[in-house]
């Protein structure tokens, strides 16, 4: 089949996938569905392994996330300094080369580029290596989900040096834990404080005294509402949950003084500090609650309240159901998940158990109803073809060409995970070009066996009737593989 025709077929098939009538799942299809939804798709032998142990036992094991990492993966991760070192160590290196570049030192700009590139590539390599090779696939999926939920753009200033720590210290430990802990970890991390400008937010009328923040002058004096707004709109309650602009302002006042100090970070790896001098010391009225003047505890109280609001339970449950089930998730499922959230006091595993045990999650019409994001597509291709990426620069280039540079979403709402955000002819042609480049080294029969249960008879027939050199590329570029 001509590849231009294949693109047209893929576009039409992907667009129609969720509307197709579905028959009950075979054991092979059920195993493939679970591998594609709670992980990044099957590796060779995974379908058989899940069928043998049973879908429910596999889900339980993934919720526990206790499998040891393969020795090769552990060794690879240990070799990536920027991904393993404390934030203060990486920041010291970043600030040193930034100073060299600003001072016009010989080779300063080149050295800065070299260091920044190394930090970015090592951070990305750690994420991608885990996503491809870790047996704890649900954990990796949830790290990606929550990073996107609490998005920080790696291209903004000092966040270039902080992204690895943010993901390692503020996201990963809490990805399957309690949401309040996760919320607090992101709120206290300098990557978030810097990205959404809370580090420079002060009570109105505050005047900086000399140089502050480790040699950096506060760029502005006054209240900054960026973080407070996104904290309610994106991270917790959701945009249509009834809060007002006044509530945003009052929450921003409660969070004044939440900052970080580069000197403390570099010298003692102290990532968060509360500056009482910057804090708004008057009472506040927020979400109908009278907040007595205090200090850091005002912000902690706000996080406590936000984490357990019914609106937050519903907002998070909708997003999880949208990610794992359908772009328009069944309302009844969302309500059951929200109830689990409240009953368990924000336990993420409990919410996921309700989701994965639901008839909606395993329904035939849910199979293939989600269109892979570029990140999901590239990782699943690496797993299916058993070709772990070794050239991280090349892999990052692919993600950029596909429109989803890793850690590269500039807006706080993160990347979309719905079909309408990613399905278009140009995107499909780029994916097929990637599949074509990957395919020559692949064993098509092994690839077909790995993807058993995920590839329809129609697609198999089209591939069988095509020239042998094209078959592996057509499998990875098929509408079935682009869906999950």
* Residues 167 and 299 reside in one and the same domain: yes
Q: What is the DSSP letter of 17?
A: G
Both structure tokens of 268: 């003692």
Whether residue 75 lies inside any domain: the answer is: no
What the block records as the tokens of 184 is 């607090």
Helix H or strand E encompassing 285: strand 284-286
Tell me what pLDDT residue 220 has: 52
> What span, in angstroms and rounded, lies between the C-alpha atoms of 3 and 242?
50
CA distance 351 to 374: 26
Same domain, 268 and 296: yes
How far is Cα 244 from Cα 258, in angstroms, rounded to an integer?
Answer: 22
8-state DSSP, 19 = G
Alpha-carbon gap, residue 196 to 151, rounded angstroms = 10
Given 270, 291, 307, which residue is the final one in a domain? 307
pLDDT value of residue 107: 84
Whether residues 302 and 324 fall in one domain:
no
Q: Give the strand pairing for 289-291 and 273-274.
A: unpaired
Q: Token match 């970890």: residue? A: 185
Indicate if 355 and 406 belong to the same structural domain: no
Q: Are residues 302 and 439 in the same domain?
A: no
Residue 72 lies in a domain: no
In a domain, 77, yes or no: no
Same domain for 93 and 194, yes or no, is yes
DSSP state of 207: -
Domain identity same for 11 and 33: yes
The confidence score (pLDDT) of residue 201 equals 97
Instruction: For residue 78, tell me if it sits in a domain.
Output: no
Same domain, 337 and 213: no
Q: Would you say residue 80 lies in a domain?
A: no
Are 152 and 219 contained in the same domain? Answer: yes
- Buried residues in 411-433 as b, exposed as e (16+ CB within 10 A): ebebbebebeebbeeebbbbbbb
Domain assignment of residue 81, yes or no = no
Same structural domain, 394 and 256:
no
Pair 149, 20 in one domain: no
CB neighbour list of residue 115: distance below 8 Å, 6 or more residues apart: 93, 94, 97
Q: What is the pLDDT of residue 46?
A: 98
258: phi then psi, degrees, rounded to nearest 5: -75, 110
Tell me which residue range forms the domain holding 136. 86-307
Contact between residue 95 and residue 160 where contact means Cβ atoms under 8 Å apart: no
Residue 356 lies in a domain: yes
d(CA 200, CA 213): 9
| Ranges in the chain, pLDDT < 50 | 1, 4, 18-21, 211-215, 218
Classified as helix, coil or strand, 347 is strand
Do 259 and 323 belong to one domain?
Answer: no
Contact 191, 165 (CB under 8 A): yes
DSSP string covering 236-281, please?
A: SS-TTSS--HHHHHHHHHHTTTEE--HHHHHHH----EE-GGGS--
With 0-12 / 13-18 / 19 or more C-beta atoms within 10 angstroms meaning exposed / middle / buried, residue 445 is exposed
- Number of domains the chain contains: 3
């Amino acid at each position: 089949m001509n590849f231009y025709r294949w693109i047209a077929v893929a576009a039409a098939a992907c667009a129609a996938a969720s509307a197709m009538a579905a028959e009950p799942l075979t054991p092979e299809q059920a195993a493939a569905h679970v591998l594609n939804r709670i992980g990044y798709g099957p590796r060779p032998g995974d379908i058989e392994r899940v069928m043998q142990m049973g879908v429910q036992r596999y889900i339980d094991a993934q919720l526990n996330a206790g499998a040891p990492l393969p020795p090769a993966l552990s060794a690879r991760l240990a070799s990536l300094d920027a991904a393993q070192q404390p934030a203060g160590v990486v920041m010291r290196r970043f600030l040193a080369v930034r100073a060299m570049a600003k001072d016009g030192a010989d080779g300063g700009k080149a050295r800065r580029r070299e260091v920044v590139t190394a930090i970015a590539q090592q951070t990305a390599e750690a994420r991608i290596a885990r996503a491809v090779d870790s047996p704890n696939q649900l954990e990796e999926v949830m790290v990606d989900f929550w990073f996107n939920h609490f998005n920080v753009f790696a291209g903004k200033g000092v966040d270039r040096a902080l992204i690895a720590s943010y993901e390692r210290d503020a996201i990963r430990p809490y990805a399957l834990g309690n949401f309040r802990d996760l919320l607090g970890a992101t709120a206290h991390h300098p990557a978030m404080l810097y990205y959404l400008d809370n580090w420079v937010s002060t009570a109105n009328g505050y005047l900086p005294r000399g140089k502050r923040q480790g040699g950096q002058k506060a760029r502005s004096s006054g209240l900054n509402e960026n973080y407070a707004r996104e904290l309610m709109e994106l991270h917790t309650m959701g945009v249509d949950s009834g809060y007002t602009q006044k509530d945003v302002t009052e929450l921003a006042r409660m969070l004044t003084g939440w900052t970080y100090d580069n000197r403390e970070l570099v010298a003692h790896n102290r990532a968060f500090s509360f500056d009482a001098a910057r804090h708004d010391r008057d009472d506040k009225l927020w979400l109908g609650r009278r907040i007595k003047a205090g200090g850091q505890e005002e912000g902690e109280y706000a996080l406590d309240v936000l984490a357990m609001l019914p609106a937050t339970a519903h907002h998070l449950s909708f997003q999880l159901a949208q990610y794992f089930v359908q772009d328009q998730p069944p309302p009844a499922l969302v309500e059951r998940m929200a109830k689990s959230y409240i009953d368990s006091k924000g336990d993420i595993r409990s919410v996921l158990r309700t989701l994965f045990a639901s008839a909606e999650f395993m329904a035939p019409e849910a199979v293939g109803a989600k269109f892979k994001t570029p990140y999901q597509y590239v990782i699943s291709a690496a797993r299916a073809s058993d070709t772990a990426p070794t050239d991280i620069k090349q892999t990052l280039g692919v993600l950029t060409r596909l429109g989803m540079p890793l850690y590269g979403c500039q807006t706080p709402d993160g990347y979309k995970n719905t079909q309408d955000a990613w399905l278009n002819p140009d995107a499909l042609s780029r994916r097929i070009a990637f599949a074509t480049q990957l395919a020559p080294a692949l064993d098509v029969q092994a690839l077909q066996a790995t993807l058993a249960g995920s590839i329809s008879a129609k697609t198999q027939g089209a591939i069988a009737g095509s020239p042998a050199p094209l078959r592996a590329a057509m499998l990875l570029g098929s509408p079935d593989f682009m869906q999950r």
